[in-house]
């Protein structure tokens, strides 16, 4: 179960980083923006891995011999993407107004990685529904916290969070491959 906590924390780093960026704009009240980010990101980060898990379960019989390698490759790619994004400009720099449409777009964009990572849940000995609920809850908390950090401290932590999340996902992939 510790792998699920680590995976949830790593997946929440994308949402955390975007929340920091949005919080630094501080266009709304801290409470409202924090709740909006937490709900959107928590919901999508919780649902997308479930979709990836169910898709992975559907094809697992066909690819069972290569499942560890596929999970490793997916987590390596997601981690590398997060590391790359940690050194490039974030999308939230271009956002002028934080609307529900913008939040929906950001929630989908930050959770696509979680859908691919959901495939790795097929290889862990965990209840996928509980794991996805935990991912959603941790992302909810980290998104709210990200808004607070962004409002109080600007964006200095934003890229470091994505970098840490990327490294953790790569390490989880290596663990799946080796053990």
Q: Using H for helix, E for strand and C for coil, what is the string for 34-62? A: HHHHHHHHHHHHHHHHHHHHHHHHHHHHH
Mean of all residue pLDDT scores within the chain: 85
Task: List, in order, residues 6 or more apart from 166 with CB less than 8 Å away.
Answer: 10, 13, 78, 79, 80, 81, 82, 83, 84, 85, 86
Total residues belonging to the chain: 179
Residue 94 confidence (pLDDT): 56
The beta-carbon contacts of 23-26 under 8 Å, at least 24 apart in sequence, are: 23/146, 23/147, 23/148, 23/149, 23/150, 23/151, 24/150, 24/151, 24/154, 24/155, 25/92, 25/95, 25/98, 25/150, 26/150, 26/151
Range among 2-16, 31-45, 53-67, 140-154 with highest mean pLDDT value: 31-45
d(CA 16, CA 144) in angstroms, rounded, equals: 8
Mean pLDDT of 160-175: 85
Residue 95 confidence (pLDDT): 62
Are the beta carbons of 45 and 11 closer than 8 angstroms?
yes
d(CA 143, CA 154) in angstroms, rounded, equals: 15
Phi, psi of 72 (to 5 degrees): -60, -50
Q: Residue 139: pLDDT band by 50, 70, 90 thresholds?
A: very high
Spatial CA neighbour of 110 closest among 24, 26, 20, 173: 20
Q: Which residue has the tokens 């690819």?
A: 63
Q: What is the pTM of this model?
A: 0.82
Percent above pLDDT 70 for the chain: 90
Helix/strand/coil for 153: helix
Is the model's pLDDT at 90 over the cut of 80?
Answer: no
Mean pLDDT of 91-95: 56
How far CA 24 is from CA of 33, 111, 154, 179, in Å, comes to 11, 21, 5, 41
């Amino acid at each position: 179960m510790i792998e699920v906590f680590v995976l949830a924390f790593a997946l929440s780093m994308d949402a955390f980083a975007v929340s920091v960026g949005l919080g630094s704009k501080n266009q709304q009240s801290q409470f409202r923006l924090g709740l909006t980010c937490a709900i959107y990101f928590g919901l999508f980060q919780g649902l997308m891995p479930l979709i990836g898990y169910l898709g992975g379960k559907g094809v697992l019989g066909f690819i069972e011999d290569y499942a560890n390698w596929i999970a490793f490759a997916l987590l390596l790619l997601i981690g590398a993407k997060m590391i790359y994004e940690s050194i490039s400009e974030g999308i939230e720099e271009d956002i002028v107004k934080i609307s529900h449409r913008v939040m929906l777009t950001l929630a989908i964009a930050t959770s696509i990685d979680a859908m691919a990572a959901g495939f790795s849940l097929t290889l862990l000995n965990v209840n996928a529904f509980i794991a996805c609920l935990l991912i959603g809850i941790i992302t909810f908390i980290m998104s709210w916290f990200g808004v607070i950090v962004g409002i109080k401290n600007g964006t200095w932590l934003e890229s470091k969070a994505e970098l840490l999340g990327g490294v953790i996902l790569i390490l989880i992939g290596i663990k799946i491959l080796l053990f």
